[in-house]
Amino acid sequence: MTALVQAHDLAKTFDVSAPWLNRVLERKPRTLLHAVDGVSFEIEKAKPWPWLASRAAARAPWPACWWGCTSRRGAA
């Protein structure tokens, strides 16, 4: 199968320091939070599950509009 989304070697860092003026007055350095570093993943393209859509549409009327099915009363 083909990958729908691929990401390689992701990294995310957040600045969780006090405001700039507080840091200057208190002579404190910036504080960084390293959330992830070197994360890679792939999301594969999945096959549709038509049986799931039909079962959900039978339980609630609103999904019928989203999936293009007819409503319970037979009106499109």
Q: CA-to-CA distance for 59 and 67, rounded, in angstroms?
A: 14
Note whether 6 and 44 are within 8 A (CB): no
**Residue 13, in any domain of the structure:** yes
Find tokens 């840091």 and name the residue: 23
**Residue 15, in any domain of the structure:** yes
Q: CA-to-CA distance for 43 and 22, rounded, in angstroms?
A: 43
Question: What does the pLDDT profile of the chain (76 residues) look like in tens digits?
Answer: 678 889 999 999 999 999 999 999 999 999 999 999 999 988 887 766 565 555 555 555 555 455 555 555 554 4
**Residue 74, in any domain of the structure:** no
Q: How much is the pLDDT for 5?
A: 85
Range of the domain at 25: 1-45
Length of the chain: 76
**Residue 38, in any domain of the structure:** yes
**Residue 27, in any domain of the structure:** yes
Task: Please tell me the pTM assigned to this model.
Answer: 0.49
Report the number of distinct structural domains present in the chain. Answer: 1
**Residue 51, in any domain of the structure:** no
Q: How much is the pLDDT for 43?
A: 83
